[in-house]
Structure 1
Amino acid sequence: MSVHATAAKAGWLARALNAIEVVGNKLPDPAVLFAMLMAVVWLVSWALSGVSFNEIDPRSGQAIEIKNLLAPVALTDFIAKLVNTFVTFPPLGVVLVAMLGLGVAEYTGFINAGLRSILAVTPKFLLTPVLVAVGVLSHVAVDAGYVLVIPLGAVIFYAAGRHPLAGIAAAFAGVSGGFSATFFVPSSLDPLLAGLTQVAARLSSDPAAANIVINPLNNFFFTTASTFLVVLIGWVLTDKFIEPRLKATAVDGDPADLPKMDALQASERKGLRWATVAMLASLALLVLSVLPETSAWRSPTNGQLTHSSAPLMQSIVAIIFIFFLIPGVVYGYVAGTVSNHRDIVKGMSQAMSGMGYYIVMAFFCAQFIYAFGQSNLGALMAIKGAIWLKEMSFPMGFTLVGIVLLTSSVNLLVGSASAKWALIGAVMVPMLMELGVSPDLTQAAYRVGDSSTNIITPLLPYFPLIVVFCRKYVKSTGIGTLIALMLPYSIAMLVLWTSFLLGFWAFDIPLGIGSTYTYPAAG
């Protein structure tokens, strides 16, 4: 392809994304949009509540029914649970608690000084791949990457003289777009999905499937190799397309709130040294308390540290809070940026004041997600899609693509990876086993589709938070801005990651430990 043809193609794509951004930003405010979508769900649930469906809900074993959310009992139940739905909204506590510690570290200047010292020795051309890789690695800490890596991506890019939204995009691509990639270290998602896959596989009509065992690391080789693909996609797109497109987008945030890139002063260097010592000492104490086989941090059921029942995994957000609070306080006192405890509380208060808009959006987002889940509309769509895929009886390669596309489509409506797989997997895994597709391969295809569209769905619980992060730098940021920013990553991952999986299958490269491609296993 000629240089002129490439430029013309890039220009066409840029215009298309600009159109998406304009249209998307003309949508109502995200909080109002969630309220409107909830009203639509109510109306659709009322319209379909009297319709009989033959599809079986794997969760109950009964024919699936759409629940009428406008029925008096459903409405009163919704209102009675409204407060609880909001306060138990999973991302809410994660975000607010983590931001308390980060707020102190930012207020005292610890984060800014630390990033300036790192940038002084880091080549600029490596910032993007390192940021994307850190985003992928953050999955070990469950959802910590959303509240830690993504905002720091903006700070790092801005401090390096690059566009902060490009930093957010690169970090978001690693944290959420690469959610199913693993950087040599298993994530908490691996045993969770494998457990659901095993339950689904045992639903098969084949008597031999009753005792099937799925290894938690059945996709480990594939997801580890996928890390390099995700990093490469994030690196190339960010540097060659996303950031050049953002040149016309002015950074108009409050200058007082934006990071500075001045040389470190003597007091800052001293504060940074002691803060680093404090952070390393905290880390050492944590490691020493984790290592013993009788450690209270381990799972009470199997003694593992990475199991979802392990107190360590359940304390990730609290640990982030402490790991930024302690060095933030130490830095403030040593560097002289704070003088007493009231300044520390002020830093926390400022962090919370900046989260006001997110809290409003989270309220309406939580209500919509609850209503959509109660209606069973998402379940109906997923089950119908899986059955259609079986009835088509495509060749293996086309079936894999179909799994990815079905998952990526359902992912636009159902955010939780585990809830989605519990629903889709219970239908898809046993169905595809009848077609000779192993549960391991079905799960791998699901993970590709699930990750690829995470970054473009406003129904992702953390999506409103990313909009808030963007608005710190570009005040006009809306849903359309973020979708247009992330759509190239989503399309590239969907195409290239699916091709990557097909390559694994075509060359019979093991997906993971104890995995197979066919059912029953060949040989």
Structure 2
Amino acid sequence: MSKETTKKDGFFVKVIKGIEVAGNKLPHPFWLFMGLWAIVLALSAVFEGVSVQKPGTEDTVAIMNLLSHKGFDWSVRSMVKNFAGFPPLGLVLVMMIGLGVTTKSGFLENLMKNIAKVPEKFIILAVFLFGICGNLASDAAIVIVPPLTGALFFSMRKNPIFGLVVGYGAVCAGFTANLFIAGTDLLLAGISTTAYQIVKPGAEVYPTANYFFMVVSTFVISGLASIFVSKFMMPSFGQWDEKFEHCQAAEEMQHGGGGFEVSEQENKAFRSAMIFTAVYWIGLISYAMVPGSILRDPVKDVLIPSPFIKGLVPILLLYFILVGVIYGKKAGTIKTAKELVNSMVEGVGGMASYIVIILPIANFIAAFSKSNMAIVMAVKLAEGLKNAGFTGFSLLVMIILFSTFVNLFITSGSTKWAFMAPVIVPMLYYLGYSPQLAQLLYRIGDSCTNSITPMMPYFPILLGFAAKYDKDAGIGTIVSRGIPLSIFFAVAWITLLAVWYFLNLPLGPGAGIFVG
């Protein structure tokens, strides 16, 4: 290593690279989750009978021994069901059918080449804004945004794996930042309302509870994150490596439309595809705004929830297929119906390793849930925090940190909040803090570590995308590059919360920081 390289690599960069090396020495995700599955089975036997009172109720929840006769029977009978019914699996495969068409046709590559002409600082800002607001599409955004940003960075001659991490981090940040009210807001508000009614019967927490904070977060986090990535992360992690010239992704793009030069025929095809894009989305959104439209809720005639929001996955699938066909026909990359089907097959075929990894992941998560260890751990940790004696703003920070820690092990947002809320909401209420604030603290903590926990169901698909650029990319490659972003999100959101707290600003319409 040269002196120049040593000088460039400061202490923090060396730590991150050390984490990468250590992380990449972990077993293949298949064996990692097989091991975790086995550990859960063993621990359920060791801690059998350990119980807690379910917050807000008189019910007792005890750890179930999955190695007992009853537990083993469940494990055997549910293994295939856990795998086939794993929610992310269907979503990923459906999205990859559409993305396969856009990739094979060459549309995705041409789109990235055109975006790459924009100055870098604005591109990264756009990635964060798009990723955060893309959370409106729920989990579909996790499947769509990272590969797009990876391809974008590839077109910019930047490290595409770092692009994947940035896109993934942006989507995960959307849990606490958005310009729109999403399904997550409805889900969490319902849980918060139930917890609030423990201390105040009949009270309600509305989906708009954190809206003001989330809108401001969208711009503040996107702006600061783009500066942080451009100035501090890009020089160390975003540089191009010649090995990317001959990676699997490069070969796929070449088969879909050539090298870095764009022909006149491809430009005409791209213009046609973009015209269709504008017509498709403007038409859909306009129709969704019309009262009585079939895209609106059939009972309340509203947009959230509605078939338009809940059906974004099939709507996106149809768009990807149609835009790919239009571009492919004009560019000459998709000429027949058979070629169209082949492009879909290739898109799904690239997910073979992900499908295999899902078997232990789905069963690990199901076993962890069935054993009740997740519930017992969450409740006991929350009670420990309650008895720790923190007050004032430091208490709020501790709740955020508590949420970030729990999120490393329990990734289902609704599950965590369902068992944290009945403890956190009443605790803060009696200290004078609103349930809307309690919900916000949980969301901040959850958003900070979503992008670095390997327990996230979509983490393996990120590894699959990364392998297309570097076959040696592993868990350490993704986690090490995500840690600086995770730390940044925590610092930025806690700072923004401090401003909100000390100025006593409203969190949303009719939702303050303090009770009353």
1:15-35 superposed Cα distances (whole Å, 9 cap, x missing partner): 111111111111110011011
- Are the counterparts in 2 of residues 136 and 175 from structure 1 also a CA contact under 8 Å? yes
Q: Which residue of 2 aligns with 1:367?
A: 363
Question: Counterparts of 1:90 and 1:426 in 2: how far apart (Å)?
Answer: 26
Q: Which residue of 2 aligns with 1:3?
A: none
- Are the counterparts in 1 of residues 212 and 507 from structure 2 also a CA contact under 8 Å? yes
Report whether the alignment pairs 1:386 with 2:382: yes
Report whether the alignment pairs 1:354 with 2:350: yes
**Please, which of 179, 195, 219 is the counterpart of residue 210 of structure 2?**
219
Report whether the alignment pairs 1:281 with 2:279: yes
- Are the counterparts in 1 of residues 158 and 240 from structure 2 also a CA contact under 8 Å? no
Alignment of 1:4-403 (within 5 A): 11-51=10-50, 53=51, 55-58=52-55, 61-120=58-117, 122-182=118-178, 184-204=179-199, 209-246=200-237, 247=239, 250-251=243-244, 253-254=247-248, 255-258=250-253, 262-307=260-305, 310-403=306-399
Question: Counterparts of 1:237 and 1:367 in 2: how far apart (Å)?
Answer: 38
1:313-333 superposed Cα distances (whole Å, 9 cap, x missing partner): 221111111011001111111
- Give the letter aligned to residue 252 of structure 2: D
Task: Give the TM-score, by structure 2 length.
Answer: 0.93
Q: Which residue of 1 aligns with 2:487?
A: 491
Question: Counterparts of 1:493 and 1:297 in 2: how far apart (Å)?
Answer: 35
1:40-96 superposed Cα distances (whole Å, 9 cap, x missing partner): 111111011134x3x311386322200111112112212212222112211111111
Question: Counterparts of 2:379 and 2:424 in 1: how far apart (Å)?
Answer: 8
Question: Counterparts of 1:437 and 1:285 in 2: how far apart (Å)?
Answer: 44
1:265-292 superposed Cα distances (whole Å, 9 cap, x missing partner): 1211222222223333333442354233
1:228 Cα offset (Å)? 2.5
- Are the counterparts in 1 of residues 56 and 195 from structure 2 also a CA contact under 8 Å? no
1:219-245 superposed Cα distances (whole Å, 9 cap, x missing partner): 111111112232134323322333322
Q: CA RMSD in A?
A: 2.0
1:196 Cα offset (Å)? 1.1
Percent of aligned positions that are identical:
34
1:371 Cα offset (Å)? 0.7
Of the structure 1 ranges 433-442 and 28-37, higher mean CA displacement relative to structure 2 is found in: 433-442
Question: Counterparts of 2:143 and 2:217 in 1: how far apart (Å)?
Answer: 23
- Match of 2:487, SS state, is helix
Of the structure 1 ranges 406-415 and 258-267, higher mean CA displacement relative to structure 2 is found in: 258-267
**Residues 297 and 374 of structure 1, relative CA distance in 2, 3 Å threshold:** same
**Residues 288 and 518 of structure 1, relative CA distance in 2, 3 Å threshold:** closer
**Please, which of 434, 440, 453 is the counterpart of residue 430 of structure 2?**
434
1:294 Cα offset (Å)? 1.4
- Give the letter aligned to residue 46 of structure 2: A
1:412 Cα offset (Å)? 0.6
1:499 Cα offset (Å)? 2.2
Q: Which residue of 2 aligns with 1:4?
A: none
- Give the letter aligned to residue 398 of structure 2: G
Question: Counterparts of 2:377 and 2:394 in 1: how far apart (Å)?
Answer: 20
Q: Which residue of 2 aligns with 1:459?
A: 455
1:38 Cα offset (Å)? 0.8
- Give the letter aligned to residue 22 of structure 1: V
Q: Which residue of 1 aligns with 2:464?
A: 468
- Match of 1:304, SS state, is coil
**Residues 85 and 60 of structure 1, relative CA distance in 2, 3 Å threshold:** farther
1:9 Cα offset (Å)? 10
**Residues 188 and 261 of structure 1, relative CA distance in 2, 3 Å threshold:** farther
- Give the letter aligned to residue 392 of structure 1: A
Question: Counterparts of 1:226 and 1:283 in 2: how far apart (Å)?
Answer: 26
**Residues 49 and 8 of structure 1, relative CA distance in 2, 3 Å threshold:** farther
Question: Counterparts of 2:505 and 2:253 in 1: how far apart (Å)?
Answer: 47
Q: Which residue of 1 aligns with 2:3?
A: none
- Please list every run of 5 or more consecutive structure 1 residues that lacks an aligned counterpart in the other structure: 1-6
1:350 Cα offset (Å)? 0.8
**Residues 410 and 9 of structure 1, relative CA distance in 2, 3 Å threshold:** farther
**Residues 512 and 457 of structure 1, relative CA distance in 2, 3 Å threshold:** same
- Are the counterparts in 2 of residues 110 and 332 from structure 1 also a CA contact under 8 Å? yes
Question: Counterparts of 1:332 and 1:432 in 2: how far apart (Å)?
Answer: 57
**Please, which of 408, 414, 419 is the counterpart of residue 412 of structure 1?**
408
1:94-132 superposed Cα distances (whole Å, 9 cap, x missing partner): 111011111111101111122223333x22331111111
- Match of 1:294, SS state, is coil
- Please list every run of 5 or more consecutive structure 2 residues that lacks an aligned counterpart in the other structure: 1-5
Question: Counterparts of 2:286 and 2:483 in 1: how far apart (Å)?
Answer: 43
Q: Which residue of 1 aligns with 2:478?
A: 482
Question: Counterparts of 1:233 and 1:143 in 2: how far apart (Å)?
Answer: 24
Aligned residues: 505
1:261 Cα offset (Å)? 5.8
- Are the counterparts in 1 of residues 157 and 240 from structure 2 also a CA contact under 8 Å? no
- Are the counterparts in 1 of residues 505 and 513 from structure 2 also a CA contact under 8 Å? no
- Give the letter aligned to residue 268 of structure 2: K
Question: Counterparts of 1:165 and 1:496 in 2: how far apart (Å)?
Answer: 24
- Give the letter aligned to residue 75 of structure 2: F
Of the structure 1 ranges 371-380 and 7-16, higher mean CA displacement relative to structure 2 is found in: 7-16
- Are the counterparts in 2 of residues 440 and 517 from structure 1 also a CA contact under 8 Å? yes
Question: Counterparts of 1:295 and 1:435 in 2: how far apart (Å)?
Answer: 46
Of the structure 1 ranges 288-297 and 403-412, higher mean CA displacement relative to structure 2 is found in: 288-297
Of the structure 1 ranges 296-305 and 157-166, higher mean CA displacement relative to structure 2 is found in: 296-305
Question: Counterparts of 2:481 and 2:224 in 1: how far apart (Å)?
Answer: 14
- Are the counterparts in 2 of residues 215 and 514 from structure 1 also a CA contact under 8 Å? no
Question: Counterparts of 1:248 and 1:172 in 2: how far apart (Å)?
Answer: 19
- Are the counterparts in 2 of residues 253 and 474 from structure 1 also a CA contact under 8 Å? yes
- Match of 1:263, SS state, is coil
- Match of 1:64, SS state, is strand
Question: Counterparts of 2:393 and 2:411 in 1: how far apart (Å)?
Answer: 26
Task: Give the TM-score, by structure 1 length.
Answer: 0.92
- Match of 1:210, SS state, is coil
Question: Counterparts of 2:107 and 2:17 in 1: how far apart (Å)?
Answer: 37
Of the structure 1 ranges 226-235 and 79-88, higher mean CA displacement relative to structure 2 is found in: 226-235
